[in-house]
Amino acid sequence: MKALEIKGLKKSFRSNFLIKKYRILKGIDLDVEKGEIYGFLGPNGAGKTTTIKCVLGLLFPDQGEILIDGKPAAGAGARSRIGFLPENPYFYDYLTARELLFFSASLFNLPAAAVHDRIAALIHQVGLSGHEDLKLRKFSKGMIQRLGLAQALVHDPDLLILDEPFSGLDPIGRKDLRTMILTLREQGKTIFFSSHILQDMEMMVDRVGIILNGSIRRQGRLSELISRSTQYYEVVCAHISEPVLTTIQANFACRDGQYVITLASDADINQVVESIIHNDGRIVSVNPVKMTLEDIFFNEMRDNQ
Amino acid sequence: MTMSMKGIACNTFRESARNKMFYLLVFFGILFALSSKLISFLTLGDAMKVLKDTGLAAINFFCVLIAVFTGINLVYKEIEKKTIFNILSKPVSRDQFIVGKFLGLALTMLTALAAMAGIFFVFVWIRGGGVDLKIILYFLMLFLELLVIVAISLLFSSFTTPILSFIFTVSLYLIGHVMWTFNEFKAILRVPFWKYFSQGLYYLLPNLDKFNIKNEVVLGTAINPWTTLFSVLYALAYILALLALTILIFRKREFQ
C-alpha cells in the first residue's frame, strides 16, 4: 500500500469574479511509497503548494483522487497520521514554543499529560532546548522552522509533508534539517517534501517527481533517473606528451597537469586506455559523467518551453 | 466537545486575553472610577440610581466594543497570517474550528463581563449599595446579547475583511436596538410588498432590545419571567442559526 497516491488531480482558480479560470494543476499523478523520502521538485509557481494544499483539504480539487494510506483524503480523519510543515510557517507569536506544541497536540485530540514527555523530547530533538518558554515573536526564522518541524511531529505521524522546508535557512540550519529528515526516514517515517533547491533534493531523496506547469514530467528513483542518463566518459591520464596523445584521441584538455580525454560512448574506452599504457602514459581514472538532477531538471524545463 | 475544539477555544481566549482586552478593561476601570467621582459632584437626586445607570451603560458599551473588535479580527487574522494552515491541516473539521472560535470568544466575553461586573459591584458597595438579583439578571441578559454580537461578527469575519465586518456588525447592532421602528414602518407603508419586506426584516434581523432590562433594574420595576425566558430561547436560537450559516460559508472556503 502506498503512503500517498494522487491520480489525475486538477485544480483551477478564478482570477476574479469574471468567468476566466486559470488551471494550476493539469492532472497530477504521483505515488509515494511507505518509508521513502520523496522529493517534489519544481520551479516557483509550478503547482507544488497547490498539490499539497489539495492533499491536506485546504483546497478542493476540481477533479482527481487523493489517497492517504489507501483511503480517500477527504475529511478531517484522514489527516490524523499526517504531519505538515507549511512554507514560511507562521505561528501565534503570543505563544511560547512549549505552548504551541501543547496546542498542536490538542488538535490531534492528545491530552497534555500523554504528550508531556514527547514534547520535551521533541524540543531537544529540534535543538530548541533553553528556548521552550520564549515567546515566538522573539524567534529567528531558523528557530521557527525547527519549531514547525516539532509541531508536525508532535503526534508521531507516519507521513510527513514538508513544503519548501529549506527555504530561508542558513547552511547550518539546512544541514541540521537534512540530518533530522534522514533520521526520521531511519525511524520508518515517509517524507514527502517539495523544494526548488536541487542540492538538498539530490542529497536526500529516494524518489523524485518533477512538476512543471501543473503536470508531472518525470517521476522515479533518483539513482535510476541519474544512471540512465550517462552523458559521456572521461579518461584522465598523465605522463604522456601532447603530440602522442593527439595521435590517440583528438578530443582532450589539460587540467591540473593531467589530460582529460572525452569519449562520447564506452565503446572506445579499452582502445584509448591500451594506447596510453602502450606509450608509457599513466591512467589516473576512467569516469562515466552522468547527468545531475540539475541537468535533468533543466532539460525538462527546456523541453517544456 | 472534542479536545481539538477545546484547544481552539482556549487558544482563542488566550489570544484575546494577551491582546487588547486587558487594556480595554484597564481603560474601562479608570473611566468608571472617574465617572463615579463626577456623579457624586454633579448629582442632586438619587446618587445610587445614577451610579447604576452610568455604570451599566459603561459596561454595556465596553463589552460590545470588545465583542465587535475581537470577533471581527479573529478568523480574519487566522486566514491572513496563514495560521489556519496549521489548524485545518490537522484532523480538525471546519465546523469544529468555527465552534471552537465561538466558544473561545464566549469565554473571553464572560471573563471581561465578570471583571467589569466585579468592579461595578465594588463601586456600588463603596457607595453603600448591595448586590441586587436584578443586576445579576441584567448581566446575564447582556452576556446573551454579547454572544449574539460575537456570532454576528464571526459570521462576517469568515468571508470578508475586518473593516467590512465592523461596518456590518455595528450596523446590525444599531438596527437591533431600534427594531420597534420596523413595526411602525409596517403601519405607515401602503404597498403590500414593502409591508411584508419590513415585517420580514423584523423577524430576520436580531432584536437586541429583547436583552435590555436596564430600565427595570434602575427604576426597580418588575421583570416578566416569561419575557425573559423567551429572550433566552430567542438568543440561543439566533446564535445557533448564525453559527450554522457561518459553518456553511466556511465549509466552502478555500485557503490559497
Quote the CA–CA distance of A248 and A268 in Å, as a whole number: 11
Residue B33 has a pLDDT of 59
CA distances from B73 to A260, B16, B98, B158, B250 (A): 67, 10, 13, 10, 15
> How does strand A252-255 pair with strand A258-263?
antiparallel
> Average pLDDT, stretch A56-68?
93
- B5, B8, B85, best to mutate vs chain A, most A CBs in 10 Å: B85
Quote the CA–CA distance of A160 and A190 in Å, as a whole number: 6
Confidence of residue A155 (pLDDT cuts 50, 70, 90): very high
- B86, B95, B96, best to mutate vs chain A, most A CBs in 10 Å: B86
Quote the CA–CA distance of A132 and A120 in Å, as a whole number: 9
- Mean pLDDT over each residue of chain B, to the nearest integer: 86
Quote the CA–CA distance of B189 and A18 in Å, as a whole number: 39
Contact B85 A109 (CB under 8 A): no
Residue A22 has a pLDDT of 84
Of A91, A143, A146, nearest to A122 by C-alpha is A146
In contact, A187 and A252? CB cutoff 8 Å: no
Confidence of residue B256 (pLDDT cuts 50, 70, 90): confident
Domain with CATH 3.30.70 in chain A: 230-290
User: Cα A290 vs. chain centroid, distance in angstroms?
Assistant: 20
Residue A122 has a pLDDT of 93
- CATH fold of A4-226 reads Rossmann fold (3.40.50)
User: Cα A263 vs. chain centroid, distance in angstroms?
Assistant: 32
Q: Is B85 on the interface with A (CB under 8 A)?
A: yes
CA distance B248 to chain A (A): 15
Residue A97 has a pLDDT of 94
More confident residue, B249 or B217: B249
CATH class of A230-290: alpha beta
Alpha helices in A137-268 (DSSP H): 141-153, 171-186, 198-204, 222-227, 242-248
- Mean pLDDT over each residue of chain A, to the nearest integer: 88
Q: Where do we find the cell 494522487? A: A6
* Adjacent-strand bridge partners of A160: A83, A191
Which range scores top for mean pLDDT: A285-294, B1-10, B233-242?
Answer: B233-242
Residue B43 has a pLDDT of 65
Q: Where do we find the cell 419590513? A: B198
CA distance B218 to chain A (A): 41
Residue B242 has a pLDDT of 96
More confident residue, A150 or A288: A150
Interface of B with A in 62-81 (CB under 8 A): 81
Confidence of residue B34 (pLDDT cuts 50, 70, 90): low
CA torsion, points B79, B83, B89, B90, in degrees to nearest 10?
-130
Q: Is B2 on the interface with A (CB under 8 A)?
A: yes
Domain with CATH 3.40.50.300 in chain A: 4-226
From A58, A90, A95, residue closest to B88, measured CB to CB: A58
Residue A297 has a pLDDT of 76
